[in-house]
Amino acid sequence: MSVTPIILDDRSSNTLSASNGADWRAISDTVMGGVSSGSLKPAVMDGRACLRLTGEVSLENNGGFVQASLDLSASGLLDAGDHAGIEIEVFGNGETYNLHLRTGDTRIVWQSYRASFQATPSWQTLRLPFESFQPHRIDQPLDKHRLRRLGVVAIGRKMHVDICIARLSLYK
């Protein structure tokens, strides 16, 4: 039996709305007193429709992140049990970014499952297997049957943020 990819966002909308019906949000460390800044807008990069996250990560005031966040299911949790990981098409500025997953088990804001990737200054399709996501400040293993939210995150060091997302899906 073949498992069909689940398209989370194919950027067919020229708004912050994703293909899955949820809205993308820009979040920075200012929610905790930091001074990082970020902006999230629909854009076109090298001829492709995308969502563009730009900004500056600052470590001042115990800060250090800017992210584009997307809820994965209108009903609260997404069962990705039949899938192997997340596929993302990105164009960046050569920096290393993270993909953070939150599940039904992540109850505190700093808990997540994290995988890193480099966003080169050309379009690339990356596959991040669920096994590559490391728990951060949580003891439970990643439960891919209970995914709640995904974040594309610039975190942990002073940096200029510029990353475009053209497509996001779950792959088999």
Distance CA 144, CA 42 (A): 29
> What's the average model confidence in pLDDT over 133-152?
97
- pLDDT of the residue at 75: 80
- 1 pLDDT higher than 70: no
Angle at 140 between CA 136 and CA 142, to 5 degrees: 75
- pLDDT of the residue at 31: 83
Q: What pTM was estimated for this model as a whole?
A: 0.95
- pLDDT of the residue at 2: 65
Domains of the chain: 6-171 (2.60.120.430)
Average pLDDT, the chain: 95
Query: 49-97: per-residue pLDDT in tens?
Result: 999 999 999 999 988 999 999 999 988 899 999 999 999 999 999 999 9
Q: Are 171 and 85 in contact (CB under 8 A)?
A: yes
List % helix, strand, coil for the chain (3-state, nearest 5): 5, 50, 40
Half-sphere exposure of 158 (CA within 13 A, CB side): 5
- Pairing relationship of beta strands 147-155 and 65-71 according to DSSP bridges: antiparallel
